[in-house]
Amino acid sequence: MKVIEHLLKAKEPLISFELIPPKRGGDIYSLLSVLDDIVKYHPPFIDITSHSAEVYYEETPEGIKKKIKRKRPGTLGICALIQNKYNVDAVPHILTRGFTREETEDFLIELNYLGIQNVLAIRGDDSGYVKPIPEGRSANPSSIELVKQIVAMNSGKYLEESLLDAKPSNFCIGVSGYPEKHFEAPNLKADIKYVKEKIDAGAEYVVTQMFYDNKVYFKFVELCRQIGISVPIIPGLKIITNKLHLTSIPRNFYVTIHDELADEISEAKPEHVLDIGVEWAAKQVEELFNRNVPSVHFYIMQNSKPVKKLMERLKLFKQIA
């Protein structure tokens, strides 16, 4: 089922999750353990991130050498596993950075063969590596063009113009939104106009970057509605689990941690931080659901412990019980 269908048909609030693939050379068992934990909560869909090649340096007998490698391959296989082993709809992330339009089309065709109907179209993080575009190939310069490419496939239009009998795909397209604005945007107003362009191109829903003050989310939604964005806007949340998050989350994701939460974590003993993070997330979820937000989306990486504690806490709320 498509994400948009899950949202429209839901009779109670939904909670979905986002995972990252194991590192290259790792095994799938730790991820399977996480999946075994979270599917108990009946998520309507699970996102799996995608990662392009990165630049890194490795010390060898001949000296330090520059290498380029995808450190976390496996998005396609994990999505197939989620849909076929767990019967949960998978949402693979599709990137513009690090992939040609031809590679994107091949990936989308494989997803279509597997019956995967949902994708999240994003630019992707800067990995420090700009992939050369081979002659005769092309790249999507932004997520707007990526959305347009997927919409074209949904209309049966492929890059190879001679494929006149090509069958249309049937993807539901999600895109990202930034309640505190994308760090490259000059201001929030300009950033929301960019979100509107993605919706106008054919995207059907928005998932936000994490935030720790619900007022930021509600204001973002209000501004989106004012300029004509009517699609569902799913709030993204992440549970703080250790004191390092007070610096790493703002640095890596360009989000602000609420003063009250930051002060409480700063003054707490390390062993109490997870409980504080879970309680804060629970209060966010309670307020969001009380304001009729139909769904929340948790960024959990590969750690299900915080989510398990959160779900135990959320059982106190009638709408989750």
> 242 with 312: CB under 8 angstroms?
no
Q: Is the pLDDT of residue 315 over 90?
A: no
Q: Is 127 inside a domain boundary?
A: yes
Q: Is 103 inside a domain boundary?
A: yes
Q: Is the pLDDT of residue 298 over 50?
A: yes
Q: What is the pLDDT of residue 217?
A: 98
Question: β-strand 295-301 against 233-237: which pairing, if any?
Answer: parallel
Q: Is 319 inside a domain boundary?
A: no
CA–CA separation, 300 and 307 (whole Å):
8
Give residue-wise pLDDT tens across range 226-260: 999 999 999 999 999 999 999 999 999 999 999 99
Q: What is the pLDDT of residue 300?
A: 95
CA–CA separation, 206 and 17 (whole Å):
15
Picking from 252, 250, 237, the residue whose alpha carbon sits closest to that of residue 283 is 237
Q: Is 282 inside a domain boundary?
A: yes
Q: Which pLDDT band, with edges at 50, 70 and 90, does 318 fall under?
A: very low
Q: Which domain holds residue 167?
A: 3-314
CA–CA separation, 145 and 150 (whole Å):
9
Q: What is the pLDDT of residue 131?
A: 67
Q: What is the pLDDT of residue 95?
A: 94
Q: Is the pLDDT of residue 321 over 50?
A: no
Classify each residue of 224-253 as buried b or exposed e, where b means 16 or more C-beta atoms within 10 Å of its C-beta: beeeebebbbbbbbbbbbeeebbeebeeee
Quote the distance between the C-alpha of residue 300 and its chain's center. 10
Q: What is the pLDDT of residue 227?
A: 98
Q: Is 306 inside a domain boundary?
A: yes
CA–CA separation, 252 and 183 (whole Å):
10
Q: Is the pLDDT of residue 57 over 60?
A: no
Domain count, the chain: 1
Q: What is the pLDDT of residue 58?
A: 65
Q: What is the pLDDT of residue 24?
A: 80
> 191 with 181: CB under 8 angstroms?
yes
Q: Is the pLDDT of residue 56 over 90?
A: no
CA–CA separation, 214 and 166 (whole Å):
45
What CATH number has the domain bearing residue 210?
A: 3.20.20.220
Q: Is 321 inside a domain boundary?
A: no
Give residue-wise pLDDT tens across range 182-233: 999 999 999 999 999 999 999 999 999 999 999 999 999 999 999 999 999 9
Q: Which pLDDT band, with edges at 50, 70 and 90, does 26 fall under?
A: confident
Q: Which tokens belong to 208?
A: 């936000």
Q: Is 238 inside a domain boundary?
A: yes
Give residue-wise pLDDT tens across range 58-107: 666 666 665 555 667 789 999 999 999 999 999 999 999 888 999 999 99
Q: Which tokens belong to 290?
A: 């009380």
Rounded to a whole number, what is the distance in angstroms from the first to the last CA of the chain? 24
Q: What is the pLDDT of residue 54?
A: 55
Q: Is 320 inside a domain boundary?
A: no
